[in-house]
Each structure stands twice: as C-alpha cells, then as structure tokens.
Amino acid sequence: MGAAHSASEEVRELVGKTGFSSDQIEQLHRRFKQLSGDQPTIRKENFNNVPDLELNPIRSKIVRAFFDNRNLRKGPSGLADEISFEDFLTIMAYFRPIDIAMDEEQVQLCRKEKLRFLFHMYDSDSDGRITLEEYRNVVEELLSGNPHIEKESARSIADGAMMEAASVCVGQMEPDQVYEGITFDDFLKIWQGIDIETKMHVRFLNMETMALCH
C-alpha cells in the first residue's frame, strides 16, 4: 500500500514537472525500460540498436542532445554519462505537442524552448553561437547519405545558408565585416514563421503523439 502510494505520488510530481499526463508517463516509462534494458539509467550505447535512429544522418547529434547538460537543465555545458527516467522525461518534454489550451504567451514560450533544444544540437561547443564550421558539420552529416553531393558541395550549401542568416540577422554587411555565427536570438529570427511542430518528432520512440528533427 505504502509503495503504491509512493509511486502514485511520484507520478503526480512528474506530471507537474513535465506536463505529460500520467498515461503518457507510464507509456514513456515502458519505452525507457526497453531502451535501458530494464536498468535505472540510459547510456549513449543504449541508443545503438534503435532502427529508425540508426538510419538518421545526424544520429550522433540527436543522441548527444539527450545527454547535453543544457537540455537536462543541469548546467551551461558538458555531457552527462547517463540519464535517469526523470532526465528522460525532461528531454521528451521538448517534443510534447503544443497544447491548444495554451494562451499566446505560453505558446511562444513553448516554441522558444523547442528552438533552444535545436540550437543546442547545432552549437556543439556550448559557446552560445553556431559557427560556420559547426553549421558545415551538420550540413555534411545531413547530406552524407546522398552519393550525388560531394563534400565541397555540402560546404558551399552551408556557406550560402550562413550568408543568408547574416543578411536576416545583421542586414547589409561591410565588405570586411565577418559574421561570427548564429546567436540564439539570431536563431529565433531565422525560424520566425516556420512551423516547429513539423520539424521535431521522435518516431524512434514509437510514440504516436510525438515525432526528432530531420
């Protein structure tokens, strides 16, 4: 009786922290146990045998994002060696669909948190800026499965995208001016008007209501 009460109390606390329903938390707990091999924590290697994730060209960045202390709300940099179920829920909450009952301020806050998660995926050195080199790495990984696009072409695509980002965020630049990289405020400007809901999903978790960025 005491154990059951304690478990239900824990679920209520998780509902309050994450916004998931108790049913969603139970479903996510089952998937967590599958991923962890019924262990209390998940490590990076636990993601190695997830078929849908294995085929994703930015698999390494997706897995890394699950262990990023910034996304886990545990610090401004660094990676966790393993994550608990509560940590797992913290990450999954970024992919929770926007609730139709939210007011406009809540919707904008939710959208901002989703974009912050994506920004952290690109900003691999946690310096608060997506540099050209970091952006090139992402583009090269995304296009790595296409045999018709060479590495130099991928780099050109990344360079063009960064120039476009500079024009959106800085405006007309002087000939000798260097765009040092995309800040989070820049990132928000670039994504303005784009439906973030269609860009973030977690198919590899077999969740009908959620879907990772591709």
pLDDT tens column, 87-146: 999 999 898 887 788 888 988 888 899 999 999 999 999 999 999 889 888 888 877 767
Q: Which residues on neighbouring strands pair with residue 79, listed in sequence order?
A: 68
Taking the alpha carbons of 12, 13, 19, 24 in that order, is the dihedral positive or negative?
negative
159 versus 130: the higher-pLDDT residue is 130
Please give the angle made by the CA atoms of 81, 83 and 87, to the nearest 5 degrees: 140
**Which tokens go with 186?**
């820049």
Q: Using 50, 70 and 90 to split pLDDT, how confident is the model at 208?
A: very low
Query: Is 50 exceeded by the pLDDT of residue 12?
Result: yes
CATH 1.10.238.10, the chain: domain bounds: 12-94, 101-195
Contact 66, 91 (CB under 8 A): yes
Contact 151, 140 (CB under 8 A): yes
Portion of the chain with pLDDT greater than 70, in percent: 86
Mean pLDDT of 155-171: 81
56 versus 90: the higher-pLDDT residue is 90
Taking the alpha carbons of 79, 85, 90, 95 in that order, is the dihedral positive or negative?
positive
Contact 129, 123 (CB under 8 A): yes
Out of 1.10.238.10, 1.20.1260.10, 1.10.287.130, 3.40.50.300, select the CATH number for domain 12-94.
1.10.238.10
Angle in degrees, 0-180, between the axes of helices 132-142 and 104-122, rounded to the nearest 10: 90
Q: Using 50, 70 and 90 to split pLDDT, how confident is the model at 203?
A: low
Percent of the chain that is helix, strand, coil (3-state, to 5): 55, 5, 40
Contacts of residue 132, Cβ cutoff 8 Å, sequence gap at least 6: 158, 159, 162, 181
pLDDT of res. 42: 96
> Per CATH, which fold does 101-195 belong to?
Recoverin; domain 1 (1.10.238)
pLDDT of res. 204: 52
Query: Is 80 exceeded by the pLDDT of residue 210?
Result: no
pLDDT of res. 66: 94
Contacts of residue 186, Cβ cutoff 8 Å, sequence gap at least 6: 165, 168, 169
In single-letter form, the type of residue at position 78 comes to G
139 φ, ψ (degrees, to nearest 5)? -60, -45
Portion of the chain with pLDDT greater than 90, in percent: 32
Integer Cα distance of 109 and 99 in angstroms: 12
